[in-house]
Structure 1
Amino acid sequence: MEKIIIPTEPIGSIPRPNDLITAQRNYRDGRINFDRLNDYYKRAIQITIEEMAATGSPVVTDGEQTKPSFLTYPIFTLFNEYYKFTPDCFSLKFADGHQRLLPRLIKAPFRYAVYAHTYIDAAKQITQLPIKQAVITPSALSMIYPRATIRGYSHEQFLDDLIAESERDIRQCLESGAHCVQLDFTEARFSLKIDPTGQLLRDFVQLNNRVLDRFGFQDQHRLGVHVCPGGDQDCYHSFEIDYLQVLPTLFDLHVGNFYLQLTSEPNHDRVLACIRKYMKPWHRIFVGVINPIDPIVETPEQVCARVLEAAKYIPVDQLGTTDDCGFSPFEDDQSTSREIAFKKIRARIEGTRMAQEQLMMP
């Protein structure tokens, strides 16, 4: 019988070590210089990759140890000069009341200061394993300049610059040898809180496709998109939005891989039935089998059962597994410990293997 392979991949972020978080605080307070902080960064990347490899993970990430957040990494060092926080900033509001803000662009042209290939280049010095890289969607960053407010800099000029920078970010990751590049599209579900008609979501997908269409079909098979209700500090920003309002439009994105939160959903069958209806024959569906927000570590047996459940709806040769979300998408999120994160990753890997063995049986 032909061997069945169910790939399994992390989403991206891993909680930062406590000594790194302390070092970041000391750097901001002027107690250490950047060279000293960089020593902590290098050590955090190394131990994160080593610990992830020790779980048996066939694909690794650097755990986003040096990203200030999944959302602002390209522009973070340009704050104050190019961006500022204003009362009308785009805000991700979470269920417990806390917010994550995007600043407003105050100086043209829009540009990136950091490109994600630098994270791959650093990780390649440590491991020979395939490296996955997450990048932010252009649709998320489009919210820093929702209308023209800078003299001589139109909104369409901004979008052209944004698309060019996003393409460069993705293309350099591929050229650096990324196993795959994942676009984090957490604003997809959130957009329906802003605009329940779904037009904003459709606009976001159209904007993202303006970037994705710059890549050939083969490269698109190395690209993917992740959606979830936005986990941060053990709560969500848009869990109350019906997932089935998001999924049909999501599958219009021109990528080959979809990393879809599922474990935390109360009704898996209705979500899986919707995925089956809208997925294309060339799509790989990585279903979430781990809930990063739940402090209880899943057992491999639980993961196995979730994979077998998904296999009733998704052809096995199009099925993969992942976590519902990253474990620490913002650098100061310490709601989940590193120990729990790696135990959950190990359970995902072992449970996926168990399910694969069962699916291979005559």
Structure 2
Amino acid sequence: MSKVTTPCRYDFVGSFLRPQRLKDAKADFANGKISQTELDLIVNDEITKVVNKQKELGFHVITDGEFRRTFWHLDFMWGFEGVAHEATGNGVAFDAELAVLDDTYLVGKIKAKAHPFVEYYKFLKQFEDENTVAKYTIPAPAQTFQQMIVPANYETTRKFYSTNEELIEDIANAYKDVINQFYEAGCRNLQFDDCTWGAIVGDAAKQRYALLGIDIEEVKKQLLEVNNRSLEGKPEDMVITSHICRGNYHSTFFASGSYDSVADYVFAKENVDSLFLEYDDERSGGFEPLEKVSKDKKVVLGLITTKTPELEDKETIINRIHEAAKYIPLDRLCLSPQCGFASCEIGNKLTEEQQWDKLRLVKEIAEKVWGE
């Protein structure tokens, strides 16, 4: 088993642009032109290629690029009992366009079962070696909680859960089960992807919750509770990190706002080992909230954007790293892109080669700053 642990000094979030061959194969399968077996062979081959590329670039973490899923978060939720979905053409309004997502809702109580993502992880794990560790990404428990209490799902959820506390309990128990499934499969590095904290920052969030008659501070407490309860009893030798995002769909974003209003919760009190933080533009605010990060956590600065192909200026990024180090020691900092390159199958607006150029830049800067 690999002794590498995440986060690495130069790292990445997890998703990669889907190769055209993979897109074509999924379309052919949907149209009945190829079988499930034929599709699986192509998916496996493309995952093998993307893992080899990560290794070729010299990264110490490997992922499957999220090639098996359509959406970064919803596909995982479908692996629980009590969750159903339907493609209706609905979605969430992002800054520049509608993010088209499957309606995902409850049809019963949430319970864990043998989760398909664990089998996906097993395929990835075979590529681990002494220099690399297989990291798997799943939506945070708070993301699943939030999905079930959005206005469109609220009445349906109340058919099965009379209170949010009951819902939180079942989600936490289901996640504990799945975390254990990953552990038994050999996973020692798991990443929660969490847009809930990014969606609750800023004045727009305050106004949105005020219109719903909901106390935003109570929402923050519940997000923290469901995440931390899910982490209770996790194996000591399993690293679980969290990536916080403000939305990443086809190079657009969902929310803007600094971390100040959530730092006392997620930075100070969430029981993850490290935080991957979006910091690629002014929408994320300043580094001052990093003072709130508990001393047992590392922070991965997402200073390189995945939303545009232009390469950042090295010295500018180096200066920003040292600016962040005024609030948290440099030896507790790492560097990565701010998000994945394809949170959903549609991907962001850059080419595969431009994607790899971004990762080369991350590695070059990290080696210059930390010498490793």
Are the counterparts in 1 of residues 336 and 362 from structure 2 also a CA contact under 8 Å? Answer: yes
CA–CA distance in 2 between the matches of 1:247 and 1:233? Answer: 28
1:204 maps to 223
1:131 maps to 134
Shift of 1:354: 0.5
| Structure-2-length-normalised TM-score | 0.82
CA–CA distance in 1 between the matches of 2:100 and 2:142? Answer: 16
Residue 307 and residue 161 in structure 1: after superposition, are their counterparts in 2 closer, same or farther (change >3 A)? same
1:104 maps to 105
2:4 maps to none
1:47 maps to 49
Are the counterparts in 2 of residues 6 and 319 from structure 1 also a CA contact under 8 Å? Answer: no
What SS does the aligned partner of 1:104 have?
Answer: strand
1:213 maps to 232
1:352 maps to 366
1:167 maps to 176
What SS does the aligned partner of 2:282 have?
Answer: coil
Gaps of 5+ in 2: 1-6, 211-215
Shift of 1:245: 2.0
Shift of 1:293: 0.6
Deviations 1:143-170 (A, max 9, x none): 4543574798435655443222212222
Deviates more, 1:222-231 or 1:190-199: 190-199
What amino acid sits opposite 1:250 in the alignment?
Answer: V
Q: Find the partner of 2:28 among 20, 26, 29.
A: 26
1:68 maps to 70
What SS does the aligned partner of 2:334 have?
Answer: strand
Are the counterparts in 2 of residues 148 and 154 from structure 1 also a CA contact under 8 Å? Answer: no
CA–CA distance in 1 between the matches of 2:232 and 2:264? Answer: 19
1:272 maps to 287
CA–CA distance in 2 between the matches of 1:253 and 1:54? Answer: 34
CA–CA distance in 2 between the matches of 1:42 and 1:48? Answer: 10
Shift of 1:66: 0.9
| Structure-1-length-normalised TM-score | 0.85
Mapping for residues 78-89 of structure 1, pairs under 5 Å? 82-85=83-86
What amino acid sits opposite 1:177 in the alignment?
Answer: G
CA–CA distance in 2 between the matches of 1:259 and 1:97? Answer: 25
What is the aligned length? 345
Residue 157 and residue 86 in structure 1: after superposition, are their counterparts in 2 closer, same or farther (change >3 A)? farther
What SS does the aligned partner of 2:76 have?
Answer: coil
Are the counterparts in 1 of residues 258 and 283 from structure 2 also a CA contact under 8 Å? Answer: no
Residue 274 and residue 151 in structure 1: after superposition, are their counterparts in 2 closer, same or farther (change >3 A)? closer
Shift of 1:179: 4.5
Shift of 1:67: 1.8
CA–CA distance in 2 between the matches of 1:94 and 1:272? Answer: 25
Q: Find the partner of 2:145 among 124, 133, 142.
A: 142
Deviations 1:314-361 (A, max 9, x none): 21221111210111011232523221111101110111000113xx9x
CA–CA distance in 1 between the matches of 2:159 and 2:282? Answer: 46
Deviations 1:92-123 (A, max 9, x none): 32111313444221244544563433232111
